[in-house]
Chains A and B, each alone.
Chain A
Amino acid sequence: MNPVIKVNSVEKEYKHFHLGPIDFEVEKGTVVAVVGANGSGKSTLFKTLMGLAQPDNGYVQLFGLEEQKQVVDVKNRIGFAGSGLYHAFSQLTVNKLAEFVSHWYTTLEKDYYEHLLNRYEINGKEKFANCSLGTQKKVEFVLAMAHRPQLLLLDEPSANVDMLSQRRMREDLKSFMEQEENSIVISTYIQDEVKQMCDYICILDDGKIKGFFEKDEIRHLWARLWISSLPDQLKNDPRIWKVEEHPLQVITNQLPDIEEELLKCQVDIIRIKRLELDDIMEYMFIFNKKTTNTSGVLLKGDDCNHKNKVKQN
């Protein structure tokens, strides 16, 4: 693997929040979605990746280069949007802001910038502070793209953004990824974005990574099975996450194994249906929070089992 980002045992302590230790790598040419509830540490993670917040422990390596080395060069190759980066400069107009940003994004392409302003219907003469929340998000996105970076770090780029612009963002990210060397780390609440664009999903919960997996692998392994009966030996199996009655059905995160075992026990499998990505993530979160037993639902396992369920990076 050729990592464009390597995060090694990164920790960051705040008064009421602790991030980490976090370890993961982003393979060049891939899109990683960071998902997690509000306050799970996504923005802190992005700030750390971008070098806006220095970790207390551990380090972040970008493009295989050592920290501090060629900082300007590294920054030029990154496009960052989010975390209220431009709030301190909100009295500037959008165009002035772009001019200002071009001091560190030295490769900013004027024509491309103009094209993006048009595309997202942004008035360059408007004061940033006077732009609506959605427009501010679009400005951040445009400024992240305009210098043609190789790595995009996007913290909720589409929050508050209108549908048409969201669609255009998705198109732009798609063409961005046509360059095989390019990579994206994106946090989002929009399921379609995760489903359509991403290769890997990183689940962040309470400042820690609870799972890092390839999208299709997880979709292949998780399923709902309607069965004729549940053999005793599988009743407390950690691979069975949930059992429901009428008609009898189970949810598993290890479909091929469970299927084989059921067939061995001569159980009829009436139907197999794969779960949607958002359902899978919900199960993982419910599991993390140890919320159990609503409406006669049976959840199995404990934290220890959980570690084996989600592929750790």
Chain B
Amino acid sequence: MKLPIEVSEDSKEPIYYQIELQIKTLIVSGQLQAGAALPSIRALSNDLSCSVITTRRAYQNLENNDFIQTIQGKGTYVKEVDQQIKTSIKDEVIYTTFKKAYEESKLMGYTITEIKEICDKVFRDQK
């Protein structure tokens, strides 16, 4: 199986963290349900062209935080995640997304007021 995740070489975040966050996102958004099987560490490494050291680290962190569990000899599966954690992860994802946009705007020399104006425009346009 292939997961709909991709890593960016140019991101500030290390690759293992990008994988971790994207899998978390898939879980909390319900795209990966409890009990769903995840690809093996090697298969994911191949898909993303990263080392098993990286994917293993991502899986280990997810496992330590109770998002997934590995059953020896069987595979890795998504665990049941409670609502409160789901909400806080969603917050984290949205926060990171906005932060990225903010950093980009700052690089281009925008002031906070200008950024807020653009933000408001985005919200208006979505209505």
Q: Closest Cβ of chain A: how far from B100's Cβ, in Å?
A: 13
Encode contact with A along B16-58: 1 for CB under 8 Å, 0 otherwise: 1000000000000000000000001111011001111110000
Chain B residues positioned under 8 Å from A196 (CB to CB): 46, 49
CB distance from A197 to the nearest CB of B (A): 7
Q: How far is the CA of A214 from the CA of B15 in the complex (A)?
A: 13
Contact with B along A273-312 (1 / 0, CB 8 A): 1100000000000000000000000000000000000000
Q: Which residue of B is nearest A273, CB measured?
A: B10
B94 on the interface (CB 8 Å rule)? Answer: no
Confirm or deny: B120 has a beta carbon within 8 angstroms of a beta carbon on chain A: no
Contact B53 A174 (CB under 8 A): no
Look across to chain A and name the residue whose beta carbon is closest to the beta carbon of B43: A178
Query: A41 in the interface, Cβ–Cβ < 8 Å?
Result: no
Question: What chain B residues lie within 8 Å of A199 (beta carbons)?
Answer: 45, 51-53
- In the complex, the answer to whether B10 meets A216 with C-beta atoms within 8 Å is no
> A residues near B, CB below 8 A?
29-31, 174, 177-178, 180, 195-200, 214-217, 219-220, 268-274
Q: Do A220 and B14 touch across chains, with their CB atoms under 8 A apart?
A: yes
> B residues near A, CB below 8 A?
9-10, 12, 14-16, 40-43, 45-46, 49-54, 107
From known contacts A272-B10, A273-B10, A274-B10, infer whether A216 and B51 are also in contact, taking CB-CB under 8 Å.
yes
Selected from A177, A215, A271, the residue in CB contact (under 8 A) with B42 is A177
Closest chain B residue to A173 by CB distance?
B46
Query: In the complex, which of the residues B9, B40, B50, B51 contacts A178, with contact meaning CB atoms closer than 8 Å?
Result: B40
Q: Is the CB of B52 within 8 A of A30?
A: yes
Q: Which of the residues B9, B16, B53 comes within 8 Å of A274, measured between beta carbons?
A: B9
In the complex, are the beta carbons of B50 and A215 less than 8 A apart? yes
Complex contact B43–A216 (CB within 8 A):
no
Shortest beta-carbon distance from B93 to chain A in Å = 22
**Ordered nearest first, which 3 A-B pairs have the shortest CB separation?**
A199-B51, A274-B9, A216-B54
For the complex, give the distance between the alpha carbons of A216 and B49 in Å: 9
Nearest-CB distance from A51 to chain B (Å)? Answer: 27
Contact A220 B52 (CB under 8 A): no
State whether B14 touches A29 (Cβ < 8 A). no
CB < 8 Å neighbour of B50 from A180, A216, A268, A269: A216
Report B-chain residues with C-beta under 8 Å of the C-beta of A219.
9, 15
**In the complex, which of the residues B12, B46, B49, B53 contacts A214, with contact meaning CB atoms closer than 8 Å?**
B53
Residues in A with CB closer than 8 Å to B52 are 29-31, 199
| CA of A217 to CA of B53, assembled, Å | 10
B51 and A215 contact, CB distance less than 8 A? yes
Q: A174 to B42, Cβ gap below 8 A?
A: yes
Give chain B residues whose Cβ lies under 8 Å from the Cβ of A217: 53
CB within 8 Å for A216 and B53 given contacts A178-B40, A178-B43, A196-B46: yes
- Neighbouring B residues of A30 by C-beta, 8 Å: 51-53
A196-B46, A197-B46 in contact; A214/B51 too (CB < 8 A)?
Answer: yes
| Complex Cα spacing A175 to B117, Å | 52
Name which residue of chain B comes closest to A29, CB basis.
Answer: B52
**Least Cβ distance of B60 to chain A in Å?**
14
Tell whether, in the assembled complex, residue A198 and residue B51 are in contact, meaning their CB atoms are under 8 Å apart: yes
